[in-house]
């Protein structure tokens, strides 16, 4: 298949979307609006949740009538050509769960390389929590139990990421500590925030909640600084 390079869209959600805000579709509608067609092909990757069947059903129900939906369950492979399937989508939507497990399975099956190839061809990559952190070089995860640093993300986006910044009380301190100890500077997203990157650069920060915030967290002169970034409420 010949691949034509297009703008590379990645949307990283700190929280929200159909699984956390079933009655507030603003972030999901924003993602669908980036697709190349009006009724896009949207594939759900539930790897981080162990391919939870309930999660998959929730996805199909949420996007019914708005998109042509499918899922790719790596725990239940059916023999399809994974590369061709991924490249044939308009949006890849990655669910939450264990970032560590997600990365391990993707790399074993070669899905990490095909997702990068698809993104270069114009397929929108999006996700929540683990499905957002995975695109970055590093971040903070509870995949090991206690919150801790993760240093081997896919690296499609530079720096680090922390989801659920206002939704889980331990997140801010864990992220600031990790950055102080050498984790790359990055972004912390409240629940209801989506950071939209185009060709690796932050293009917009949109929210489904009026006061949700995206924060820049970085080391400066031996201190960790946290700076709120401009956001646009979609409501």
Residues with catalytic annotation? 129, 164
Among 94, 45, 92, smallest CA distance to 67 is for 92
The region that residue 195 occupies, defined by phi over 0 for left and psi between -120 and 50 for alpha, beta otherwise, is beta
Q: Which residues pair with 43 in a beta bridge?
A: 70, 92
Distance CA 110, CA 234 (A): 36
Alpha-carbon 80 to chain mean position: 24
CB 18 within 8 A of CB 28: yes
Provide DSSP, 29-43.
HHHHTTSSSSS-EEE
> At 55, is the secondary structure helix, strand, or coil?
helix
> At 163, is the secondary structure helix, strand, or coil?
coil
Among 97, 167, 108, smallest CA distance to 133 is for 97
Distance CA 202, CA 121 (A): 19
> At 19, is the secondary structure helix, strand, or coil?
helix
Torsion sign across C-alpha atoms 115, 116, 118, 123: positive
């Amino acid at each position: 298949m010949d691949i034509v390079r297009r703008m590379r869209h990645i949307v990283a959600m700190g929280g929200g979307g159909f699984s956390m805000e079933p009655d507030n579709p603003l972030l999901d509608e924003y993602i669908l609006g980036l697709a190349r067609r009006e009724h896009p092909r949207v594939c759900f990757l539930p790897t981080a949740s162990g391919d939870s069947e309930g999660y998959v059903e929730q996805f199909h129900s949420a996007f019914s009538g708005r998109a042509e939906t499918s899922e790719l369950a790596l725990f239940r492979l059916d023999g399809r050509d994974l590369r061709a399937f991924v490249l044939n989508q308009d949006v890849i939507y990655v669910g939450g769960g264990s970032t560590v497990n997600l990365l391990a399975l993707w790399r074993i099956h070669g899905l990490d390389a095909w997702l990068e190839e698809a993104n270069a061809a114009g397929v929108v990559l999006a996700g929540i929590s683990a499905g957002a952190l995975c695109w970055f070089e590093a971040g903070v995860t509870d995949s090991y139990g206690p919150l801790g640093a993760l240093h081997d993300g896919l690296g499609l986006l530079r720096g680090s990421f922390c989801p659920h910044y206002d939704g889980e009380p331990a997140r801010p301190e864990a992220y600031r500590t990790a950055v102080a100890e050498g984790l790359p500077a990055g972004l912390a997203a409240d629940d209801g925030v989506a950071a939209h990157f185009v060709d690796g650069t932050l293009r917009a920060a949109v929210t489904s909640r009026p006061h949700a915030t995206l924060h820049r967290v970085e080391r400066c002169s031996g201190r960790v600084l946290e700076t709120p970034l401009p956001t646009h409420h979609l409501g």
